[in-house]
Amino acid sequence: MGLRRKNKSPAVLSHEFVIQNHADAVSCLAMGFLLGLMFEVTAKYVIIFITVQYNVTYIIDDKSEPIHLYEYGPKDIATIFFYMLIAIILHAVIQEYILDKINRRLHLSKTKHSKFNESGQLAFFYLFSFVWGASILTAEEFMTNPTLLWKDYPHSRMFFQVKFFYVCQIAYWLHALPELYFQKIRKEDIPRQLYYICLYIAHISGAYVLNLQRLGLILLVPHYLVELIFHASRLFYFSDENKQKGFTLWALLFVMARLLTLTLSVLTFGFGLARVENPGFSIADGNFNVLTVRISCLAAICLTQAWMMWKFINFQLKKWREHIQNQLPKKKITYTKSKSTKKEPNKANFVNGAVKLEDGGASPRTRKSKAL
């Protein structure tokens, strides 16, 4: 039994050991933060990691309830770190208790297995984020009134749900970086995943720091819906390759989401913030409404949308070529079969005729008749 255990269990602190036990180690670390709340000495330090910081309370009247708003600051890094640990734990739970069980039933290849895990994890995240973001948008008025995207800028103070949403978004996409190692992602897939992970971190963090949380939220929700449809369609495709109708819906919504993103971005940076009453640059006030920042943000969004459309067009062309290549062999087979069926009767007649001539030439009676 001892020899079997040595063969099965990897060496302590080896790569395989870290990959197999990373969820347990992270769970112990997160539990340590929660246990720190029980002691008065450590509670004032641990609370920075668990709860949202920089609370600002407004009291309008004695009769009205106080309004709790939040700002951002350097302590948010600790909060993001803690919820990044929570994201790693949830990632491992979804992988082990849901995706791995489905993979055993489907018997997928290594390539499809990796893509199935990626789509499964992202589908859960996009569904959760879309529902959460849509609930925030329904509670806010700027969904129906686009002028609120730039009116009274800077929006340096947020409601609890808005700030916690951004903290969780940044924490999730930061956790995706070590997951490339924990999930043993193939080398050829790492650059592709690194591209969109870094883009998510840059855009969401930029909207959070530059006090553009309203614009970022209203752009993320439709984008997450489109990505949810794509990854859900890919999951259905891996279970049954005939289920491809979801990709058509995704293609239509993808183009519409890109147009919506460009329209709202140009409207906000080109017209709204350019005409706001308090233009100026002030880090203390959180006001970044200057021409350089506006042009940089708009250029970053436009370049990202152009890159996404380029990838989308290449993807559609690749699928179109594969569809044509799959149909060409069928046409060749039917063409060759039709030729062979036309030539077979001629061959048969020729062979039968040759046989008759050979039989006739070999007959002794015919030779005698000729001699006579």
pLDDT in tens, 92-119: 999 999 999 998 888 888 888 889 999 9
Q: What is the mean pLDDT of residues 355-368?
A: 46
Q: Give the C-alpha separation, 87 to 81, whole Å.
A: 10
pLDDT in tens, 6-60: 456 777 777 888 888 899 999 999 999 999 999 999 999 999 999 999 998 887 7
The residues facing 57 across adjacent strands are 68
Query: Which amino acid, 317?
Result: L
CB distance 180 to 193 below 8 Å: yes
| Alpha carbon distances (Å) from 86 to 51, 194, 203, 238 | 13, 21, 22, 29
Q: How confident is the model at residue 336, as a pLDDT?
A: 52
CB distance 153 to 273 below 8 Å: yes
Q: How confident is the model at residue 334, as a pLDDT?
A: 54
Q: Give the C-alpha separation, 322 to 341, whole Å.
A: 30
pLDDT in tens, 243-284: 778 889 999 999 999 999 999 999 999 989 988 767 778 888
The token pair at 159 is 């409601």
pLDDT in tens, 138-162: 988 777 788 888 988 888 899 999 9
pLDDT in tens, 317-332: 988 888 788 777 655 5
Detail the DSSP E strand segments found in the chain. 55-58, 67-70, 280-282, 287-289
pLDDT band at 366 (very low <50, low <70, confident <90, very high): very low
The residues spanned by each domain of the chain are: 51-103+113-326
CB distance 82 to 66 below 8 Å: no
In the predicted structure, residue 216 carries a pLDDT above the cut 70: yes
**What DSSP state is assigned to residue 12?**
T
194 CB-near residues (< 8 Å, 6+ apart) = 180
| Alpha carbon distances (Å) from 70 to 54, 76, 129, 163, 336 | 5, 11, 20, 7, 74
Q: What share of the chain is helix, strand, coil (3-state, %, to 5)?
A: 75, 5, 20
Alpha-helical regions (H) of 9-109: 15-35, 40-50, 76-94, 100-106
The token pair at 317 is 């062309």
The token pair at 8 is 């099965």
The residues facing 289 across adjacent strands are 280
CB distance 262 to 305 below 8 Å: yes
